[in-house]
Amino acid sequence: MAALQFQRLRQVVQQARATARTEAKQCGRATYEWVGMPFVRSRGTLLCTISAQGQCEPNVAAECPEWHGTRREIEQLVAKVEASYPDVTEIIVSGGYDISETLDFDDYEPRVAEWDVLVWRRGDGYAVPVAEVS
């Protein structure tokens, strides 16, 4: 099995976040030109588990399992999944951006740009990090 390419993972996450942020800003200007949606808010960086059915335990994306950017968090989650969660097929790092007309975000457009990076796949081990931005 391949080793975790941690520095490459961090670089790809930074690139994915920057691309998604740019897309969110462009969407805010293009789609909402009449009022403008100049403010962009990050939804954080999450470390999530995925099964064939979608989100799953132990790190359900809907529960916002924040990733603090450490190798240890990933290695501990992989060990936990391999030992106790046979339905988990993938571990990803993900995030996204919302846009708003004002800084208070009372009225905002959610999930304007999202990104994720595959970290681990059952049977294959650690993945070569590649971002997907949508």
Q: Which pLDDT band, with edges at 50, 70 and 90, does 133 fall under?
A: confident
Farthest CA pair distance, the chain: 53
In a domain, 1, yes or no: no
In a domain, 120, yes or no: yes
In a domain, 130, yes or no: no
Task: Give me the pLDDT at residue 36, please.
Answer: 60
Contacts of 57 (CB under 8 A, 6+ apart): 49, 85
In a domain, 60, yes or no: yes
In a domain, 92, yes or no: yes
Average confidence score pLDDT of the chain: 85
Which residues are paired to 117 by β-bridges? 93, 131
Task: Give me the pLDDT at residue 113, please.
Answer: 85
Task: Give me the pLDDT at residue 107, please.
Answer: 67
pLDDT in tens, 28-61: 666 555 456 667 778 889 999 999 999 999 999 8
How many Cβ atoms from other residues are within 10 Å of residue 51's Cβ?
15
Task: Give me the pLDDT at residue 118, please.
Answer: 95
Q: Please count the structural domains in the chain.
A: 1
In a domain, 16, yes or no: yes
In a domain, 57, yes or no: yes
Provide mean pLDDT across the span 17-28: 83
User: Domain range holding 78?
Assistant: 6-124
Q: Which pLDDT band, with edges at 50, 70 and 90, does 7 fall under?
A: very high
Task: Give me the pLDDT at residue 30, please.
Answer: 61
Task: Give me the pLDDT at residue 32, please.
Answer: 57
Reference 88, options 133, 123, 46; nearest CA is 123
